[in-house]
Structure 1
Amino acid sequence: MPNKADNGSIDDPECFYCSKNHKLEGLMIEAAKLRVSTLYLNKDQTHQGRCIVAYNRHVRELFHLDPTDLQLFMEDVSQAARTLHEAFQPDKMNYGIYGDLVSHLHVHLVPKYKESAEWGEAFLNAPPSKKMLDPLGYQETIKLIQAKLLR
């Protein structure tokens, strides 16, 4: 069982964000290191540019962060969302913070487009059909994100 500290952080070797294990590699690809988090490209690109911002330490809730880390984390989320908007020009950016099954603090950034899947609805985390890219497609998408991030 994980060892829980007073600040909500836990030592959980089963967490794929902490262990960077094969489950993480099956779902996403690291795109960039941010101030207090990491930006990952989701391998399911049903929504072009879909990414996840994961806090670098294992905490479960936003309120477990001290005020400085909370501000830095939210700045990372905002910077990543701005980057995705510049790179992919979505009609709207959706943000999802859940954690029922994966308790490590992370935010889904899901660019939404008026003429594509789930417009006007919440995005499906596990849609019935997924849009997967070939390795070059992921590499090109990450290069585009990194180029916009560094501006």
Structure 2
Amino acid sequence: MAFELAPELQRDCIELADWSLCKVLLMNDSQYPWFILVPRVEGCREIIDLDDKLQAQFWQESAQLSRTLQAVFSPDKLNVGALGNMVPQLHVHHIARFTNDVAWPKPVWGLHPAKPYTDEQIAELKKVF
């Protein structure tokens, strides 16, 4: 079987880049700089499903994304998490949070309706990745 991105992620996200292991996605909600890493490994549900080499690669890419978010957005806090209760495919959220964002200090999930990015905003973010 070939890797396929979960339909929920296809619906809710914008594909920004393919790194060595992971697909880099942007959650289409301009209220938060919200990015998602998805290892391109078929059937992967948990980080422990990756072998040791791929786990190391995953964490390197997660750190790379986190450093990029810090450099580009200067957030007050980075939220990084893998839940998978609604989308079982392994995907890890990286969200730049600010004390003045619309959800602070609560989690961003489902608190406010999404505000999609404009084409211009997406083009600018693609330049970063």
Match of 2:34 in 1: 50
Alignment correspondent of 1:4: none
Q: Which residue of 2 aligns with 1:60?
A: 45
Cα distance, 1:67 vs. partner?
0.9
Per the TM alignment, residue 21 of structure 1 is displaced from its structure 2 partner at its CA by: 7.6
CA change 1:90–1:24 in 2 (3 A) is: same
Equivalence for 2:73: 88
Q: Structure 1 residues 33 and 130 mapped into 2: Cα distance closer, same or farther (>3 Å)? A: same
Q: Is the 8 A contact 1:53 1:106 kept in 2?
A: yes
CA distance in 1, matches of 2:105, 2:5: 34
Root-mean-square deviation (Å): 2.0
State whether structure 2 residue 120 is matched by structure 1 residue 136.
yes
- 1:99, CA displacement in angstroms? 0.9
- Map 1:1-151 onto structure 2 (within 5 A): 18-20=3-5, 23-47=8-32, 49-58=33-42, 59-124=44-109, 126-143=110-127, 145-146=128-129
Q: Residues 29 and 101 from structure 1, CA distance in 2 versus in 1: closer, same or farther, beyond 3 angstroms?
A: same
For structure 2, the residue ranges without an aligned partner over 5 or more in a row are none
Q: Distance in 2 between matches of 1:120 and 1:24?
A: 25
Tell me how far apart the structure 2 counterparts of residues 34 and 73 of structure 1 sit (CA, whole Å).
10
Deviation digits for residues 49-88 of structure 1 (CA, Å, limit 9, x no counterpart) = 2110001113011111111111101111110111111111
What TM-score does the superposition give when structure 1 sets the normalisation length?
0.75
Counting aligned pairs with the same residue, the percent is 25
Q: Whole-Å Cα distance in 2 between the matches of residues 119 and 77 of structure 1? A: 23
Using the alignment, how far apart are the partners of 1:20 and 1:37 within structure 2? 11
- Give structure 1 stretches of 5+ with no counterpart: 1-10, 147-151
SS at match of 2:65: helix
How many residues are matched? 128
